[in-house]
């Protein structure tokens, strides 16, 4: 900054111990730098350097000036950081723990859009099941968690919640793809693949089946929704997932049909943070934008 230039020159001379050497570092002529120092000393009212045969060194007044320069620079950095906080361009980092369904499309799109406006902010994304995502909030490994049907809610501060129906996923030419009303029992009558009990979708399926005499008898149980989306094209099977993870599924040759809510109640995708924690600025700003984006998805 221009008003700091003279102070930078003084600090450069003190560090170099020579006007000539400092002038080279600061890309000035020795005479120009000497004139700047003399003008400052005249205005300040006292010399700040001792002129020695082999160079210069700060005198007592100069040491006080140098201390002031360093303190002013630290204060200026603090103010700049505060201003950056106000306008949302602070360089920072956002750590997110999220359900697997968010990683193929939704979260990459949101992060990329945010970084287009704030390229100084970096991200880390950890795919975690419901319990692990909440644990990472508690131990400060993650700033935010974006999870489907969290397990424990005691320390989870909800920032946004949107309903997500459980959908059946199958090949586009599967007989159930054109059914006028898709019932859970119809899906269980054909080969089906399901996520493991750690996932919210499986939890909702298990809850739904407690009211019936039917049971899941999957041909495959997996921890990967990507695997399940691929597998249903091989055995004319049916898989289960939530809509936010199915962007682009049609382009992959899949049909996506919501299950009848009378059979399987919709769950909720929750964005949250550790209860009572003040988030870093970058994480707080991203959470605000993500909250708005999620609310826009919610049915009116």
Exposed, middle or buried by CB within 10 Å (0-12, 13-18, 19+), for 228? buried
Residue 2 Cα to chain centre, angstroms: 36
User: Strand pairing partners for 59?
Assistant: none
Q: Note whether 231 and 237 are within 8 A (CB).
A: yes
Provide CB contacts within 8 A for 153, sequence distance 6+. Answer: none
The pLDDT, as a whole number, for residue 186 is: 95
The pLDDT, as a whole number, for residue 50 is: 92
The pLDDT, as a whole number, for residue 74 is: 66
Q: Where in the chain is the domain with CATH 3.40.190.290?
A: 166-265
Q: Where in the chain is the domain with CATH 1.10.10.10?
A: 2-87
Domain 166-265 has CATH 3.40.190.290: yes
Provide CATH code, domain 93-163+268-297. 3.40.190.10
The pLDDT, as a whole number, for residue 207 is: 94
**Mean pLDDT by groups of 10 residues along the chain of 300 residues:** 76 91 91 91 92 91 88 72 61 88 88 92 90 85 89 83 94 92 95 93 94 93 92 93 84 88 93 88 90 79
Domain 2-87 -> CATH class: mainly alpha
pTM of structure? 0.66
The pLDDT, as a whole number, for residue 6 is: 86
The pLDDT, as a whole number, for residue 150 is: 78
CA angle 220/224/230 to nearest 5° reads 70
């Amino acid at each position: 900054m221009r008003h700091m230039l003279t102070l930078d020159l003084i600090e450069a001379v003190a560090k170099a111990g020579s006007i000539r050497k400092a002038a080279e570092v600061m890309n000035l002529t020795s005479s120009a730098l000497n004139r700047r120092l003399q003008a400052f000393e005249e205005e300040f009212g006292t010399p700040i350097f001792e002129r020695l045969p082999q160079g210069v060194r700060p005198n007592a007044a100069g040491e006080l000036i140098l201390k002031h320069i360093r303190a002013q620079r630290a204060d200026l950095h603090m103010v700049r950081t505060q201003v950056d906080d106000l306008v949302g361009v602070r360089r920072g980092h956002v750590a997110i723990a999220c359900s697997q369904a968010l990683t193929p499309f939704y979260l990459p799109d949101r992060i990329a859009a945010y970084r287009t406006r704030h390229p100084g902010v970096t991200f880390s994304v950890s795919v975690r099941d419901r319990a692990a995502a909440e644990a990472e909030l508690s131990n400060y490994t993650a700033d935010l968690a974006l999870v489907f049907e969290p397990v424990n809610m005691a320390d989870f501060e909800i920032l946004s919640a949107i309903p997500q129906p459980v959908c059946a996923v199958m090949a586009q030419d599967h007989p159930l793809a054109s059914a006028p009303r898709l019932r859970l029992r119809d899906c269980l009558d054909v080969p089906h693949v399901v996520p493991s009990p750690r996932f919210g979708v499986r939890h909702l399926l298990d809850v739904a089946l407690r009211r019936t005499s039917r049971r899941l008898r999957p041909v495959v149980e997996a921890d990967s929704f990507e695997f399940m989306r691929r597998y249903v094209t091989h055995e004319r099977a049916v898989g289960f997932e939530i809509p936010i993870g199915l962007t682009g599924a049609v382009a992959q040759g899949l049909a996506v049909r919501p299950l009848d809510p009378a059979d399987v109640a919709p769950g909720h995708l929750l964005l949250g943070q550790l209860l009572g924690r003040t988030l870093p600025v970058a994480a707080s700003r991203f959470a605000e934008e993500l909250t708005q984006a999620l609310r826009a998805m919610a049915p009116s």
